[in-house]
Amino acid sequence: MVFSVVMLTCLVAAAGWCLLTRTAFAGWVLLAFAALWLPSNNGHLEGRNLIKLSTGHGITQGDAVGVTGWLLAMVVLLTWALRSGRGHVRSERVGAVMLIGLTALALGALTAYETG
C-alpha cells in the first residue's frame, strides 16, 4: 500500500513537471511512472470498476490515472519528436516514440493483469 502511494505521488509530480516544462526528458520520466503505476497499483488504490473485462478483472479508476499519465507523456513526446525535425518530420523519431510508448503501456497493462 505504501509503495502504491509513493508511486502515485511520483506519477502526479511527473505529470505536473511534464505539463510545466513540456520537455522530452519530463515526458520519458512520466511515461516510465505511468507504465510502473499499472502493476504497482493493482489491488491497492483501485477505486471503482469502470469497465468489466471478466469476472475478476476490469479497468478501474486507478488504471485510468495511469492511462491518463501515459496519454500526457505521449502528447509531449510526440510534440517533441515532430518539432525536433528542423523543418521536416523525423518519422523515425516519431515511430520510435510510438513504439516505446505503446510497448511501455502494454507491458504495464499485462503485468497488472497477470498480478491481479
Tens digit of each residue's pLDDT (9 = 90 or more) over 8-63:
889 999 999 999 999 999 999 999 998 888 777 776 667 677 777 777 666 777 78
Q: With beta carbons less than 8 A apart as the criterion, state whether 69 and 14 touch.
A: yes
On the question of pLDDT at 64 being above 80, the answer is yes
DSSP summary character for residue 48: S
* Contact criterion met (CB below 8 Å) for 42 and 115: yes
Is 71 in contact with 11 (CB distance < 8 Å)?
no
pTM (whole model) above 0.85:
no
| pLDDT for res 26 | 94
Task: Please state, rounded to an integer, the average pLDDT across all residues of the chain.
Answer: 81
